[in-house]
């Protein structure tokens, strides 16, 4: 069983060495001793030190570049050490929950909410990402149930944010290990934003909690009709209902509902244009749209009346449908429905045997995709383009770990690929992009084993 060491002194995460540095273990020990002399951050939270792989490990394939034995590191005398079994989940480490939530609200003073919210998350060791904007709040957080509930209660203590729409997801033992600090396997290019990165939360200020690009669309004023997951099948099975997937192409590629229309968008802000083109709407003639008594007809570009269908739309958690349905209502659509709680709620509540869902659902965290019951799916992430890839995709000659996949290979220049390879080498060698001196103004020179003082050198920031 893998073990990790929790130390009170500052730490660096180290991974498998490249063949260029045959004495990296000795260098790592020297650097750790140097840093241990003067603590840079007297935080009461435990810190972790992960070991270097031995020389015999160098030839093994890279499966988990940040997780390997602690036996290769000699710990300096005087350090407080606590050994934790990474497979255990004892009383010291209660089980975790992941909660995605959002709320549209009139929130002009959102910026003042950032610091107290971030401070509380850090105090409770709740990780994840939260967006604050004048139109409300949107986030996904991970922590113990008690901690997460305290954060959600604090958010809803502001009466404008009461009634958060929430979806809870289970957490795998691996994710719990990451959160509690047993291991640190955040992948290259995604570690900073992964909700499960332990002891790390981002609270960002933005113009919108979900980018649509049209400030006139206000879900607080009007929104489509919510449909419970148990009633969704009947609605989308009706041939008179047009089912629209509001997500992007790379999300739809790995899973969707039966009969769903793919708008072929690369970003949510492209959705309004697709609606205008799909239903031959002209922005300059919006005010001249003709309608019947029930308002279900419109004027098309050729002057003929065109019937607007009943629309049922869905997205991952429901937030994009709030804006999309509001937009359609502003365009004259009268029957606009959307799946309450999104795909995630549907997969949680509807048994697989009754489901009309096909494939897996892409999620914006390190799980990459989920299946029925919200269990982690089979897809991985290409860290060159952040798109989901299947096991079959990884058999392609265009697949290169941390660099490219069949979906981005042709769009990347050789220069971009070389930069990605350099970044990946840094990560495989040091466990951090930019090298272990990243963020330090005066990195300490470290002597490699067998070298004299004249040959001591700094750890490189690029490899």
The single residue of 17, 24, 142, 315 carrying the catalytic annotation is 315
User: Do 388 and 250 contact (CB within 8 A), yes or no?
Assistant: yes
Find, among 204, 223, 101, 78, the residue nearest to 156 by Cα. 101
> Would strands 225-227 and 136-144 be described as parallel, antiparallel, or unpaired?
unpaired
User: Do 211 and 323 contact (CB within 8 A), yes or no?
Assistant: no
User: Do 94 and 148 contact (CB within 8 A), yes or no?
Assistant: no
User: Do 263 and 245 contact (CB within 8 A), yes or no?
Assistant: yes
Whole-number Å distance between alpha carbons of 434 and 426: 6
User: What letter would DSSP give residue 434?
Assistant: T
User: Do 90 and 111 contact (CB within 8 A), yes or no?
Assistant: no
Whole-number Å distance between alpha carbons of 416 and 402: 12
Residues forming a β-bridge with 137: 103, 132
User: Do 1 and 71 contact (CB within 8 A), yes or no?
Assistant: no
> How buried is residue 95: exposed, middle or buried, by Cβ count under 10 Å (0-12/13-18/19+)?
exposed
Is 315 a known active-site residue? yes
What SS3 state is found at 176? helix
Retrieve residue 324's tokens. 């999309």
Contacts for 3 with CB less than 8 Å, ≥ 6 apart: 69, 70, 83, 84, 85, 86
User: Do 386 and 189 contact (CB within 8 A), yes or no?
Assistant: yes
Retrieve residue 88's tokens. 């255990």
Contacts for 412 with CB less than 8 Å, ≥ 6 apart: 384, 404, 420
User: Do 315 and 342 contact (CB within 8 A), yes or no?
Assistant: yes
What SS3 state is found at 23? coil
> Would strands 310-314 and 336-339 be described as parallel, antiparallel, or unpaired?
parallel
Long-range CB pairs of 76-81 (<8 Å, 24+ gap) are 76/29, 76/32, 76/33, 76/36, 79/7, 79/8, 79/9, 79/36, 80/7, 80/8, 81/5, 81/6, 81/7
Active site residues: 315
């Amino acid at each position: 069983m893998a073990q990790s060491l929790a130390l009170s002194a500052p730490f660096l995460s180290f991974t498998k060495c490249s063949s260029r540095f045959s004495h990296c273990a000795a260098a790592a020990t020297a650097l750790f001793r140097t840093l241990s002399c003067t603590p840079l951050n007297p935080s009461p939270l435990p810190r972790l030190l992960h070991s270097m792989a031995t020389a015999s490990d160098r030839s093994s394939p890279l499966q988990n570049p940040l997780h390997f034995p602690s036996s290769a590191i000699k710990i300096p005398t005087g350090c407080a050490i606590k050994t934790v079994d990474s497979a255990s989940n004892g009383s010291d480490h209660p089980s975790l929950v992941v909660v995605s939530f959002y709320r549209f609200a009139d929130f002009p003073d959102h910026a003042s909410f950032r610091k107290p919210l971030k401070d509380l998350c850090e105090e409770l060791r709740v990780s994840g990402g939260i967006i604050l904007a004048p139109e409300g709040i949107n986030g996904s957080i991970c922590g113990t149930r008690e901690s997460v509930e305290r954060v959600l209660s604090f958010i809803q203590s502001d009466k404008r944010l009461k009634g958060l729409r929430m979806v809870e997801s289970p957490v795998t033992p691996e994710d719990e290990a990451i959160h509690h600090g047993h291991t640190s396997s955040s992948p290259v290019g995604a570690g900073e934003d992964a909700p499960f990165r332990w002891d790390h939360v981002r609270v960002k200020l933005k113009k919108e909690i979900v980018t649509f690009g049209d400030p006139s669309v206000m879900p607080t004023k009007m929104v489509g009709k919510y449909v419970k997951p148990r009633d969704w099948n009947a609605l989308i099975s009706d041939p008179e209902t047009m089912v629209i997937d509001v997500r992007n192409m790379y999300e739809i590629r790995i899973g969707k509902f039966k009969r769903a229309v793919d708008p072929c968008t690369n970003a949510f802000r492209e959705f309004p244009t697709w609606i205008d083109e799909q239903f031959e709407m002209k922005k300059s003639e919006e005010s001249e749209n003709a309608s019947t008594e029930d308002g279900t007809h419109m004027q098309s570009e050729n002057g003929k009346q065109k019937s607007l269908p009943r629309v049922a739309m869905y997205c991952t958690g429901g937030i994009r449908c709030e804006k999309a349905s509001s937009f359609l209502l502003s365009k004259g659509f009268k029957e606009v429905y959307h799946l309450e709680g999104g795909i995630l709620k549907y997969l949680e509540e509807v048994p697989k045997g009754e489901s009309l869902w096909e494939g897996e659902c892409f999620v914006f965290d390190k799980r990459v995709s989920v299946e029925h019951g919200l269990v982690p799916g089979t897809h991985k992430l290409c860290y060159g383009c952040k798109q989901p890839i299947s096991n079959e995709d990884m058999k392609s000659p265009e697949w290169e770990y941390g660099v490219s996949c069949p979906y981005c290979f042709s769009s990347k220049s050789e220069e971009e690929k070389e930069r990605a390879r350099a970044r990946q080498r840094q990560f495989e060698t040091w466990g951090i992009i930019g090298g272990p001196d990243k963020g330090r103004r005066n990195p300490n020179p470290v002597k490699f084993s067998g070298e004299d003082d004249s040959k001591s050198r700094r750890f490189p920031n690029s490899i």
